[in-house]
Amino acid sequence: MDTINHMKKFMEPKSIALIGVSRSTEGAIFNPLGNLLSYGYSGNIYPVNPSANEIQGVKTYSNIKDLPDDVDLTVILTPRGSTPSVVKECVENGLKSIIVVAQGFADSDEEGKSLQSEMVNSIKKGGARIIGPNTFGVTNAFIKMSTALARLKIEESPIGIISQTGLPFLGTSRFKFGKVIDVGDTCDIDVADALEYLKDDPETTVVVLQVEGIQNGQGFIDIANQVTKKKPILALKSGRSEAGARAAQSHTGSIVGKDEIYDAIFKQCGIIRLDDIEEMEDFSLAFSQLPLMKGKGVSVMSWAGSTGVITVDACEKYGLEVPLLSDKTINSIKELAPPDWLPVNNPIDLWACVGLSGFNPRNFKSAFKKILEALLNEEKTNAVLIIIPDYLALFNSDIWDISSVMSEILEKYKDIPIVFNILGPWDELTEKLEQNKNTVVFRSCERAIKALSQLYRYSEIRGIV
Amino acid sequence: MDTINHMKKFMEPKSIALIGVSRSTEGAIFNPLGNLLSYGYSGNIYPVNPSANEIQGVKTYSNIKDLPDDVDLTVILTPRGSTPSVVKECVENGLKSIIVVAQGFADSDEEGKSLQSEMVNSIKKGGARIIGPNTFGVTNAFIKMSTALARLKIEESPIGIISQTGLPFLGTSRFKFGKVIDVGDTCDIDVADALEYLKDDPETTVVVLQVEGIQNGQGFIDIANQVTKKKPILALKSGRSEAGARAAQSHTGSIVGKDEIYDAIFKQCGIIRLDDIEEMEDFSLAFSQLPLMKGKGVSVMSWAGSTGVITVDACEKYGLEVPLLSDKTINSIKELAPPDWLPVNNPIDLWACVGLSGFNPRNFKSAFKKILEALLNEEKTNAVLIIIPDYLALFNSDIWDISSVMSEILEKYKDIPIVFNILGPWDELTEKLEQNKNTVVFRSCERAIKALSQLYRYSEIRGIV
């Protein structure tokens, strides 16, 4: 079986065997059987436990050799000491895609190293593959399946992640990953293998890497080069610092190598490197929900001039531009501004043009729409950022609720990224805006601009601009 | 009257005259009279409007000369054209602390420049002072007072801000400013004057600057040097880039000067420069709620090793350290870990030491407390970061709810900053933790470390370490 078919058995199993699953329901959050049932996984589940007939209403098997023939994926939950013999037995019984959850192997002591060699020898002989050890395995929200010990919030999303203990990044409401491959300590399946699966996976349009080290450098470079021609790869490579590298060594046994080497490899492959967890959140949302930027021009609608100035600074910092508007656009906007107002240009001060226009906020929505459409029709506008402060919600929030206007605009202008920053926590408006699948509400204007700049950068990588 | 006494009239007025206040209640969010009433300001309010006897139940005056004698603060809300004559009349009637809200003066056209000179001449002759033009004036939450046109959420806080159109930064739930001085286009009162007030203000322990340009450089340096010896100054200086500087010029008429000059001035004065709005939020919360760091050592309790590694990277990036633990501490923690677990050290993997300990999460809270106290008793611990993922809330969140343990610990260890990062939006736990006034829940582990690093840096500035 080639890598891609092995990966499909891991990621899209019709049947899963759980070896060493606990009968305990006390710590049930740590029981993959209970978790699979709670997600609503519709494939077959075969728990193996010598001292039970059923667990949580599911028939159990006493021995690996008694398992039905149709097992696609095997998850081994036994402690490290007994795991190599369990792996051997699995291989002998024709189980070919195996997840080893336990830790304490090559990342630990001499005994662990030797136990790991034993496992690897078994699978090499039998043509089987292992994900792990020290892993939570795989998640595929499209079939309501996760092998993670922890119970997660599973939700379909076009963002796929290859991680080394990606647990903290799963299941939270801002980070939705449709597919997760936790390669763990990579005794066999590595980042390159996982990339091979996500490359042609039609359900995944953005690939995130969260890794401490990469093995098989040339294999990784070859496949990454192919992936980035189809979909973006965003990489959070930790263990950057000397101290971090030491911590990674004790955590996943990764030899992390010099950080500059990773910079060079990522650049060569067209991979976008992430500086921190918030960039992972922002950029993956941007790539999964927004069209690419076809040029550098950002038009800004700010509330108060100060955030406009801060946004202009951010554009320059991240290589974007805030182009001057055409006379036509300026004149159409000026009609809305009070007569002695400041000169109208990009960034547009909404407070000026609308808030004070006759001091009549009831005109706000129509003026807002007129300005936004004027900006979107400007040739130099490749993206629009709209900044709204939450204090508007304190007083007649209906007047300021632009969500219905935005639904209409987002439906009409699908080729230009239109994004938001809401200053302060105006949850109600944020939720309404986020119901539109082709926008993102960012937590600051600087973060919005940084994410937009990556939509331009990837256009360059792809040779679109 | 010297500057400090003028500033006290602006910031702590017993009576406020509002000149040109509108009768309209349609756009009542823009009516400072309605706003002052809604906040519950207990001083006298004297609206001046020639065509009304009362507005919103408050007696109005037809003329400035009819106003009572006890006016401390005068807010002029007339359009720019009539404002200079109103200012003149105010000065002639002995009003000495005046806020000019209108814009379109020196930042606008030739006529605006000449109107501004006229105003400045009037106050120079009469010994009066102006805040503005182009300003929302002042806010003092301790007396439930704000002159802002927009209605804000007013809440007492030891964070004071001097801003140029600070409107977007006010009233949101993460940004609480007890005192706000929006110096606007600074035709008279400037940043240095405002600093003079906050320097000795007992209700303010942290000073934030949000400025596009600083006038009177030597005066600023002199006073800033005095302030930073007593309380930290955090400065967001926008208009950094060339394009941003152009935008600032049209926004507040500020000549922003080369950005490097500001870097040098801030350094010389011991001012901490902010890179973005999120740093403003994080650092001001840190300084207002946490003790300073007396050394570089951070102890980390992470959930899963990957965030531990990412945190170690962040510590190195921001000049902090993750010290190795003493044998005594390691042994007391090892008692809680499963026998073949990874080596125990800093960062401590809570998942390893507690979550899996007998797979019994009911032991979580007592183990958590034991580990945390061991870390706090380590000599090399100068701060603690605790990282918790929100998916724990999906399953029996009571077991994982550490808020009562934390209340006890935070009461006991008041000299060491103890902070959190919750991965994902676990609002209930966040709110409970934030009820403790001496901790901060940060949005990412990197942001937590960056903010902690400033608590160490300011210890250096103050010569404490």
Q: In chain B, whose CA is at the least distance from the CA of A442?
A: B278
pLDDT at A354 over 90: no
Q: Where are the alpha helices (DSSP H) in A27-109?
A: 32-39, 83-92
Contact between A244 and B313 using a beta-carbon 8 Å cutoff: yes
Say whether A249 sits in a helix, a strand or coil: helix
Q: Which residue has the higher pLDDT, B96 or B168?
A: B96
d(CA B400, CA B389): 10
Contact between A244 and B212 using a beta-carbon 8 Å cutoff: no
Residues A38-83 have pLDDT tens digits of: 999 999 999 999 888 999 899 999 999 999 999 999 999 998 899 9
CB B168 within 8 A of CB A387: yes
Say whether B442 sits in a helix, a strand or coil: strand
- Least confident interval from A290-304, B348-362, B430-444: B348-362
Q: Which of A299, A340, A349, A449 to mutate to test the interface with B (most CBs of B within 10 A)?
A: A340
Burial class (CB in 10 A: 0-12, 13-18, 19+), B180: buried
Distance from the Cα of B70 to chain A's closest Cα (Å) equals 31
CB B301 within 8 A of CB B385: yes
Residues B362-408 have pLDDT tens digits of: 788 888 999 999 999 999 999 999 998 877 776 667 888 899 999 99
Q: Give how far Cα B34 sits from Cα of B27, B31, B39, B84, B165, Å.
A: 10, 6, 9, 25, 21
First vs last Cα of chain B: how many Å apart?
A: 40
d(CA A382, CA A72): 47
pLDDT at B341 over 70: no
Residue that the structure tokens 């060569």 belong to: A268
d(CA A150, CA B394): 10
* DSSP line for B314-331: HHHHTT-B-PPPPHHHHH
CB B294 within 8 A of CB B464: yes
Structure confidence at residue B22 (pLDDT): 81
Q: How many CB pairs under 8 A join A and B?
A: 283
pLDDT at A244 over 90: no
Distance from the Cα of A218 to chain B's closest Cα (Å) equals 25
Residues B192-207 have pLDDT tens digits of: 999 999 999 999 999 9
Say whether B174 sits in a helix, a strand or coil: coil
Structure confidence at residue A446 (pLDDT): 95
Contact between B342 and A107 using a beta-carbon 8 Å cutoff: yes
d(CA B47, CA A216): 76
β-bridge partners, B301? B348, B386
Residues A210-223 have pLDDT tens digits of: 988 888 889 999 99
Q: Which residue has the higher pLDDT, A30 or B366?
A: B366
> Which residues of B fall within a CB distance of 8 Å from A385?
none
Structure confidence at residue B363 (pLDDT): 80
d(CA A365, CA A406): 10
Distance from the Cα of B278 to chain A's closest Cα (Å) equals 7
Residues B120-177 have pLDDT tens digits of: 999 999 999 999 998 989 999 999 999 988 888 888 999 999 998 656 555 555 668 9
pLDDT at B325 over 90: yes
Percentage of chain B surpassing pLDDT 90? 65
Of A251, A347, A355, Cβ closest to residue B309: A251
Structure confidence at residue B259 (pLDDT): 85
Q: Which of B309, B320, B325 to mutate to test the interface with A (most CBs of A within 10 A)?
A: B309
pLDDT at A200 over 80: yes
* ∠ Cα B275 B278 B281 (to 5°): 110
Structure confidence at residue B84 (pLDDT): 97
Structure confidence at residue B164 (pLDDT): 84
Q: In chain B, whose CA is at the least distance from the CA of A34?
A: B395
In the predicted model, what is the mean pLDDT of residues B57-68? 95
**Mean residue pLDDT across chain B:** 89
Q: Using omega within 30 degrees of 0 as the cis cutoff, is the peptide bond preceding B389 cis?
A: no
Distance from the Cα of B6 to chain A's closest Cα (Å) equals 26
d(CA A214, CA A223): 13
Contact between A305 and B172 using a beta-carbon 8 Å cutoff: no
CB A148 within 8 A of CB A32: yes
* ∠ Cα A189 A195 A201 (to 5°): 120
Structure confidence at residue A240 (pLDDT): 75
Task: Calculate the dihedral angle through the C-alpha atoms of A209, A214, A219, A222, rounding to the nearest 10 degrees.
Answer: 50
pLDDT at B432 over 60: yes
Burial A120-155 (b: 16+ CB within 10 A, else e): bebbeebebbbbbbbbbbbbbbbbbbbbbbbbbbbe
In the predicted model, what is the mean pLDDT of residues A91-114? 90
Burial B306-343 (b: 16+ CB within 10 A, else e): bbbbbbbbbbbbbebbbbebeeebbebbeebbeebbbe
Contact between B305 and A251 using a beta-carbon 8 Å cutoff: yes
Confidence band, pLDDT 50/70/90 cuts, at residue A108: confident
**Tokens matching residue B61:** 């005056």
In the predicted model, what is the mean pLDDT of residues A393-413? 87
Structure confidence at residue B13 (pLDDT): 98
> Which residues of B fall within a CB distance of 8 Å from A27?
359-361
Contact between A27 and B359 using a beta-carbon 8 Å cutoff: yes
Contact between A308 and B340 using a beta-carbon 8 Å cutoff: no
pLDDT at B447 over 70: yes
Q: Give how far Cα A314 sits from Cα of A435, A450, B147, Å.
A: 27, 7, 31
Name the residue type at position A5.
Answer: N
First vs last Cα of chain A: how many Å apart?
A: 40
**Tokens matching residue A210:** 């969260």
Contact between B171 and A424 using a beta-carbon 8 Å cutoff: yes
Contact between A30 and B165 using a beta-carbon 8 Å cutoff: no
**Mean residue pLDDT across chain A:** 89
Structure confidence at residue B337 (pLDDT): 72
Distance from the Cα of residue B218 to its chain's centroid:
25
